[in-house]
A and B are shown apart, each in its own frame.
Chain A
Amino acid sequence: MAVESRVRLEPLWRVRARLFLRSFRRNWALFWESRIGPLGLGIILLFVLMMVAHPILMATVWDPRVYDPIVGFDPDLVGKHPAPPSPAHPLGTDPIGRDVLSQLMWSTRSEFALGVTAALITVTIGTLIGAVCAYFGGIVDAIFMRIADLVMLFPFIALLMVLRSVIHLDLVRLALVMGVFSGFGGITLTLKAQALTVKVKPYIEAAKVAGGSAFHIIRRHIIPNILPLSFLYMMFSVTGAVFTEAVLSYFGLLDIRMSWGIMIHTAESAGYLGAFGQYWWLWAPPGVAITLLCFAFYLVGRGLETLVNPRLRKR
């Protein structure tokens, strides 16, 4: 007793914060060691910078009448659109006289919003289903696994091509549809497999004996343990979502006012894609941006993989 009174009790939140900080540092070191993870993170930060810079530029340097990504027009270059890069328009203008760089920067925001929203929904649904299937097994498991089979059977882009005439696919709805659809797909298989390995751990048995309800065990024990893997799959889902949006926009099948895919679509429908090299600034910047963003999230995902799967580490 005497010993205990001398120990100054640390508040619980500080213990938790310290533990969190320690594990964060360790994980960060591992992530940094993967080298490709930080590369992806760097590219993502670059895009964030672009996203933040756009409203600032619009408010200070760029005249909204000329540089607005959707309704802007440069009257000085009438008859010369699409104009090649110049000091006034670092990436040139598009066939109807709008600044390409401004469009590129403005679209970053919607790409991030779409990718992250869709991925969050996917991962939330996938984690819940994976945990529930692993814990209960039996008929619940069978039903969700058949649904996953069915979802994986559908060529997703082909499905969206039909769906876009059933519902008005704007950015929010597209994110919802993509998120929900892929949440029921292959991701549940992986997360269920992970949850199954958690389910047989002794502490689950202990929690059951202590009288924990199924809900409690799933919420407090299973989900926290598969969350790292979910987080990893979120990165890959972002890549998928951004790519799908870009393809559909490129075919001109979405009700989005401006995105990287639509920029290429504009160039193509105005007939400037056939000349390839001559009007490179119409397709190269948005194409490269789509590729780089998908690439960056995928790299971060692979970097995180070394944290989640210790067998991939060097030591």
Chain B
Amino acid sequence: MLRFLAGRLAQILVTFFLFLTVVFLLFQAMPGDYTKQFIMNPKIPPEARKALQERLGLTGSVWDQYVHYIRNVFTGNLGVSFQHYPREVWDIIKERLPRTAVLFLVADLVAFALGFPLGKHIAWRRGRLSDYAVTVTGVLFYTVFTPLLAIVLLYVFSNVLGWFRSGGFLTPSLWLRPPVPPQTVFLLLTATVAGLLALWGGGFLVTRGIGHPRPRAWARRALVLLGLALAAGAWWQSGLGPYAWDIVWHMVLPVLAVTLISFGGTMLLMRDSMLEVIREDYITTARAKGLPDKVVRDRHAARTALLPTVTNFTIGLGFIVSGGIVTETMFSWKGMGLTYLEAVLQQDFPLAMGCLIFTGILVLLLHLVVDVLYAFLDPRISY
């Protein structure tokens, strides 16, 4: 296992290096630079522009810049954003990465929790009307034009029903004199989500030891409630509840949009995967033994069918930045996607590159996680 991990890490490092190079070349190929927007500005004469270019590191040969860039990335220096001068790129990413991560993590988990059982059920009763109806609905949401979905959601829930605010990160009027900055509240929220996931995940593993299905189910339900109660209690105690609630309220619509888009993918994959597994001999054996339908479906078929679904689900996470650009723009959710779009349009190279680099790292790490997860889920695989 360790040898395998080391090999994978070396491979990942090579891929990452190539990725960095391509990103650099791409931005080098862009015509003009950040200072071009000052060309027509009479207050900034050519000499001042030259000085600005020099200060921003835009002069010098391509090779020099490249060496500089690679050295900086590997020493953890992402530079200074041109747009938000003198804020450091890392500082901006540190602020926005959690927003994207939480949005997509929550949405993808909900989508998985929705898609997995749905796919399981429609595969089991294939050919029925419900199978077709659910499949077509899933495909429709999976291929929906994201801006259209966002417009419809905003129209229905924000304009007609008035339940949610139309985008943004928080309600400014509520945050006039907050006890702590919004970022802190958001990080605490992130920690809450992570803590809940850890509690539930750990609890799931621990309760596997309970032999009987019924007490096990009850223990798990109790665990879910306990987690929720703990989280609610902690927020109540801290006095930051209303502020946290405001952010959560703003998150609902984007999460809903991402969930709707991604549950179809999981569901369709699960369905196909199930259909293949159902034809295996051991399913016939399990049925012949007289096991209840539900047991055959959940414990024999679904477990095997889960494997390809999990892999594809995790690899699909890599596309969150592409998807994130559209979703975050539509809901004015200032995460990595929207930051990237603004940076590219403003030719803020360090920030745009920083966003891409972080996406790259994220995706590569996820691929590693998939490999390990695969070994964990599939008893046939050992490294």
Contacts and interface: CB of A to CB of B under 8 A. Distances in A.
Interface of A: 35-36, 39, 146, 149-150, 152-159, 161-163, 165-166, 239, 243, 246-247, 250-251, 264, 273, 276-277, 283-284, 287-288, 290-291, 294-295, 298-299, 302, 305, 309, 311-312, 314
Contact of B321 (A155, A247, A250, A273): A155
- 3 smallest CB-CB distances across A and B, nearest first, come from A287-B148, A294-B143, A276-B155
Given A158-B340, A291-B148, 8 more contacts: A35-B132, A152-B315, A159-B26, A161-B325, A165-B31, A247-B326, A284-B148, A287-B147
Interface stretch (B59-67, B104-112, B228-236, B272-280): B272-280
Contacts of B319: 155
Given A150-B18, A156-B322, A162-B352, A287 B145 contact: yes
B359 A155 contact: yes
A214 B96 CA distance: 52
Interface of B: 14-15, 18-19, 22, 26-27, 29-31, 126-127, 132, 135-136, 139-140, 142-148, 151, 154-155, 159-160, 268, 272, 275-276, 279, 315, 318-319, 321-322, 325-326, 329, 340-341, 344-345, 352, 355-356, 359-360, 363-364
13 contacts: A153-B363, A153-B364, A155-B318, A161-B340, A166-B31, A247-B145, A251-B341, A276-B159, A283-B148, A291-B148, A295-B143, A298-B142, A314-B127
B325 to A, nearest CB: 6
A288 B144 CA distance: 8
Contacts of A305: 272
B26 A299 contact: no
A246 B139 contact: no
Given A146-B18, A153-B364, A290-B145, A36 B135 contact: yes
A295 B352 CA distance: 32
Contact of B147 (A165, A166, A250, A294): A250
Contacts of A251: 329, 341
Contacts of A284: 148
Contacts of B359: 155, 158
Contacts of A162: 26-27, 30, 344, 352
Of A158, A287, A311, chain B has the most CB atoms within 10 Å of the CB of A158
B325 A294 contact: no
Nearest to B271: A312
Given A161-B341, A264-B147, A294-B143, A312 B322 contact: no
Given A162-B344, A166-B29, A288 B148 contact: yes
B interface, over-half SS: helix
Nearest to A150: B18
Given A36-B135, A162-B27, A276-B151, A157 B145 contact: no
A interface, over-half SS: helix
Contact of B30 (A39, A150, A165, A295): A165
B155 A166 contact: no
Contacts of B154: 276
Nearest to B352: A162
Nearest to B143: A294
A166 B135 CA distance: 41
A312 B155 CA distance: 39
B322 A158 contact: yes
A155 B328 CA distance: 15
A314 B360 CA distance: 41
B166 to A, nearest CB: 9
A247 B337 CA distance: 14
Contacts of B29: 166
B103 to A, nearest CB: 16
Contacts of A156: 322
B26 A150 contact: no
A150 B159 contact: no
Nearest to A301: B139
B127 to A, nearest CB: 6
A154 B325 CA distance: 13
B143 A312 contact: no
Contacts of A290: 145, 148
Contacts of B14: 146
A283 B268 CA distance: 29
A146 B363 CA distance: 15
Contacts of B356: 155, 158
A284 B217 CA distance: 46
Nearest to A247: B326
Contacts of B345: 161
A36 B137 CA distance: 11
Of B142, B146, B360, B364, chain A has the most CB atoms within 10 Å of the CB of B146
Contacts of A163: 26
Given A247-B146, A295-B143, A299-B136, A157 B318 contact: no
